């Protein structure tokens, strides 16, 4: 069992997390540089809340989630789960943490072994973690499948016999089978038909209420995030540029990048006039990020200081955090 969460200890605390991938060139594969996929990310998630990481593709959202769970090794930083050091854990401690920290992958088609029945895939993790085996495991598998909107007899079927939405329900059931308290939902609906997406979102919300789950919800769809999240963190080029409560974020985003993202959300009412902020240029390469503010090459409000000084992610008077010289002028 993981230590009980107290009001003083967040469910998850991430401090200065970094993940740099080496660039190897030449016949000898020497390291000539690094891709800074995650470059000093800091945030906390309170027990029972949904913290959403948003941003364009390639900004480091998924790498952040995978590094937190140690599906990929961290280059630096610190991750505390209910007060325990995740990055330093090994052996039995890490096995215990893995039971409490699960992930729902983006693509349900590649997340399941096509040669295993659904029941065998879920039952395997129950056996590995010593939770149940044999008839007990089969009953537990059926229970969790039904809880995720499937039928008990589906445990005997193979992944190719399911639709995309059903497969994602299976992936969610597999994550839920170990009775975790924290789940990383990595773009859980982006590979699904629009008609199915709302069903999966409603399922995740329902499961959170029933099992008191804490979510790290990774998405590029701000319309979905508005429905799911309690707080929002905006990533750009491996860094967090804004963290705010959902209501404040959607009412008045402070960072220019956040403002551009929100301006791109479609409005269903044709009578509502909305000004779209068009960003010029492409996202810089994380292997060669620009000096100063990483967003200054595309920012419509760029100042001289932005080209040389990296803005810190600091709190405003209202408590939200922003990394921008417009909000926190350099004295």
| Residues in CB range of 195: below 8 A, 6 or more apart | none
User: Would 331 be classed as within a structural domain?
Assistant: no
242 strand-pairing partners: 234, 322
User: Would 149 be classed as within a structural domain?
Assistant: no
pTM > 0.85: yes
User: Would 264 be classed as within a structural domain?
Assistant: yes
- pLDDT confidence of residue 230: 96
- Per-residue HEC secondary structure of the chain comes to CCCCCCCCCCCEEEEEEEEEEEEEECCCCEEEEEEEEEEEEEEEECCCCEEEEECCCCCCHHHHHHHHCCCCCCCEEEEEECCEECCCCCHHHHHHHHHHEEEECCCCCCCCCCCCCHHHHHHHHHHHCCCCCHHHHHHHHHHHHHHCCCCHHHHHCCHHHCCHHHHHHHHHHHHHCCCCCEEEEECCCCCCCHHHHHHHHHHHHHHHHHHCCEEEEECCCHHHHHHHCCEEEEEECCEEEEEEEHHHHHHCCCCHHHHHHHHCCCCCCCCCCCCCCCCCCCCCCCCCCCCCCCCCCCCCCCCHHHHCCCCCCEECCCCCEECCCCCCCCC
User: Would 21 be classed as within a structural domain?
Assistant: yes
CA–CA distance, 251 with 228 (Å, rounded to integer): 16
CATH number at residue 69: 3.40.50.300
- pLDDT confidence of residue 7: 53
User: Would 249 be classed as within a structural domain?
Assistant: yes
Per-position pLDDT tens, the chain of length 331: 344 444 568 999 999 999 999 999 888 889 888 999 999 999 999 999 999 999 998 899 999 999 999 999 999 999 999 999 999 999 889 999 999 999 999 888 899 999 999 999 999 999 988 888 889 999 999 999 999 999 999 999 999 999 999 999 999 999 999 999 999 999 999 888 888 999 999 999 999 999 999 999 999 999 999 999 999 999 999 999 999 999 999 999 999 999 999 998 877 666 666 788 888 888 899 999 999 999 999 999 999 999 999 999 999 988 899 999 999 987 6
User: Would 59 be classed as within a structural domain?
Assistant: yes
User: Would 136 be classed as within a structural domain?
Assistant: no
Number of folded domains that form the chain: 1
Cα torsion 197, 63, 73, 78 to 10°: value is: -100
Exposure on the CB side of residue 200, measured as CA atoms within 13 A: 30
CA–CA distance, 146 with 158 (Å, rounded to integer): 16
Domain that holds residue 241: 12-115+158-322
- pLDDT confidence of residue 268: 67
- pLDDT confidence of residue 29: 86
User: Would 330 be classed as within a structural domain?
Assistant: no
């Amino acid at each position: 069992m993981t230590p009980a969460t107290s009001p003083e200890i967040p469910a998850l605390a991430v401090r200065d997390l970094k993940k740099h991938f080496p660039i190897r060139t030449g016949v000898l594969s020497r390291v000539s540089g690094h891709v800074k996929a995650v470059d000093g990310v800091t945030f906390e998630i309170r027990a029972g809340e949904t913290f959403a990481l948003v941003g364009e593709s390639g900004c480091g959202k998924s790498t952040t989630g995978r590094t937190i769970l140690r599906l990929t090794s961290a280059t630096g930083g610190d991750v505390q789960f209910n007060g325990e050091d995740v990055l330093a854990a090994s052996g039995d401690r890490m096995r215990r943490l893995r039971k409490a920290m699960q992930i729902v992958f983006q693509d349900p088609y590649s997340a399941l072994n096509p040669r295993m029945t659904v029941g065998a895939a879920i039952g395997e993790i129950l056996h590995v973690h010593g939770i149940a085996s044999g008839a007990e495991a089969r009953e537990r598998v059926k229970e969790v499948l039904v809880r995720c909107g499937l039928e008990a007899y589906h445990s005997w079927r193979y992944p190719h016999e399911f639709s995309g939405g059903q497969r994602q329900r299976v992936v969610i059931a597999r994550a839920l089978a170990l009775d975790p308290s924290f789940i990383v939902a990595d773009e859980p609906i982006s590979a699904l038909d629009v008609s199915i997406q709302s069903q999966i979102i409603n399922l995740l919300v329902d499961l959170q209420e029933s099992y008191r789950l804490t979510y790290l919800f990774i998405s590029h769809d701000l319309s979905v995030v508005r429905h799911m999240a309690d707080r929002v963190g905006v990533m750009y080029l491996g860094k967090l540029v804004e963290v705010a409560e959902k209501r404040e974020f959607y009412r008045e985003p402070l960072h220019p990048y956040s403002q551009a993202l929100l301006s791109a959300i479609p409005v269903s009412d044709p009578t509502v006039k909305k000004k779209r902020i068009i960003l010029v240029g492409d996202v810089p390469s994380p292997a060669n990020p620009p000096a100063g503010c990483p967003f200054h090459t595309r920012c419509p409000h760029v100042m001289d200081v932005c080209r040389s000084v990296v803005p810190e992610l600091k709190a405003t008077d209202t408590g939200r955090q922003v990394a921008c010289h417009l909000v926190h002028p350099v004295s």
